[in-house]
Structure 1
Amino acid sequence: MAIITLSTDIGTNDFVIGAFKGQLLTLQPNAQIVDITHQLSSTNFAEAAYICVNAFKYYPEETVHIVLVNLFEFNPSQLLLAKYGKQYILCPDNGILTMICKQKPDNVFRLPIKKEAKINTIQCLENIALAAHKLATGRSSLQVGQATDNFVERYPMRPTFSSDWIEGQIIFIDRFENVVVNISEIEFEECRKGRNYNINFGRGNSIITEIQENYSSSNNEDYIATFNSAGMLELAIKNGNLAGLFGLKGYKTENSSFANSQAFSEAKNSGKRDWVYQTIRIFFE
Structure 2
Amino acid sequence: MTSELRYAVSVVPEPERAEGDAHILRVGQIKYTNALPICHFLEKNDPDIEYYPGAPIELNKWLAEGAVDVGLVSSFAYAEHADTMVALRGLSISSGGPVGSIFFFSKRPLEELDGCTVALASISASSVNLLKVLLAEIGVTPTYITREPNLPEMLEEAEGALLIADQALYWSLQDHGCYVYDLGEEWYRRTGHNMTFAVCAVPKRLLTANPEKVRKIHRFFLEGKRKGLADMDEIVREAQRMLGQSESFWRNYFGNLIYDFNEELAAGADLFFEKAHRHGLLEKPAKVELWGDEE
- Give the structure-2-normalised TM-score: 0.26
More helix as a share of residues: 2
- Give the structure-1-normalised TM-score: 0.26
Q: Which has the larger radius of gyration?
A: 1
